[in-house]
Structures are given as C-alpha cells and as structure tokens.
C-alpha cells in the first residue's frame, strides 16, 4: 500500500497538508474506531498495514495562545539575553574557524 507521508524517522513529527474537502466516515467505520481509540488513549497509536508500521496521532488545527505568565517569562528572557553578543569579535572568530579547518583537513593537497 502506498500511503503519502508514511515514512520518517521514529519519533519525527510529519506534518501533511490538510485536504481541501474533509472525508466523511460513518460512526461505525474502522476510521471512526481508530479516532475513538486515539481520543481515549490520549497518545499516538501504531498500526500495521501490509507489514508496514504507521503511527497515528491527533493534532489540533487551533494555535494555542500563550498565557499571560508565559508571555511575561518570554519577555523577561528576551530582555535578559539582549546585548549578550555585544562584545563578540566576529573577525577573530572567523579567523579561528578558518585556521582550525586548515589544521584538521583530511583532504589530500591538490597539485596542478
């Protein structure tokens, strides 16, 4: 069976585009039973089709709004880190990077 968006590293979240038209299933269908299981267990489930494993998980199309406390923490963290790189010497850093690259190069020299 060739299902789109069915591959990925274990634990990797795969986000697939949502169809323009929703599919309608009978409440007593296998799909409805899978959704009921997902809702009841509250965590992803694994199914197998023709020897291939697939992980099904519920997602929400609604974006969670941060609480006022989360907003305050974010603002405080941004203010605390502002200016943290002001004394950073980019030229010295780049020189260091290029020196280290040259020192550990495993490529053979090119003779023209």
Q: Quote the pLDDT of residue 4.
A: 44
Task: Convert the pLDDT of each residue in 9-66 to its tens digit.
Answer: 555 555 556 677 878 888 888 888 888 888 888 788 888 889 898 888 877 666 678 8
Would you say residue 95 lies in a domain?
yes
Whether the model clears a pTM of 0.85, i.e. scores above it, the answer is no
Whether 26 maps to a domain, the answer reads no
Identify the pLDDT of residue 94: 94
Residues 54 and 48: beta-carbon distance below 8 Å = yes
- In terms of residue numbers, what domain contains 86? 68-103
Q: Are 61 and 18 in contact (CB under 8 A)?
A: yes
48 domain-assigned: no
Q: Model confidence at 2, in pLDDT bands (50, 70, 90)?
A: very low
Lowest-pLDDT choice from 2-6, 65-69, 72-76 = 2-6
In a domain, 92, yes or no: yes
Q: How many domains does the chain have?
A: 1
H-type helices in 26-67, by residue range? 30-41
d(CA 23, CA 29): 12
pLDDT of 97: 92
| DSSP single-letter state for residue 52 | E
Centre a 10 Å sphere on the Cβ of residue 38 and count the other Cβ atoms it contains. Answer: 15
> What is the model's pLDDT at position 15?
55
């Amino acid at each position: 069976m060739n299902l789109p968006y069915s591959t990925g590293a274990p634990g990797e979240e795969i986000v697939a585009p949502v169809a323009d038209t929703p599919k309608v299933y009978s409440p007593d269908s296998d799909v409805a039973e899978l959704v009921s299981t997902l809702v009841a267990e509250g965590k992803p489930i694994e199914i197998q089709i023709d020897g291939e494993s697939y992980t099904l998980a519920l997602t929400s199309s609604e974006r969670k709004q941060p609480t006022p406390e989360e907003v305050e923490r974010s603002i405080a963290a941004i203010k605390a880190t502002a200016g943290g790189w002001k004394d950073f010497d980019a030229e010295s850093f780049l020189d260091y990077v290029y020196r280290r690259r040259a020192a550990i190069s495993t490529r053979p020299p090119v003779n023209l």
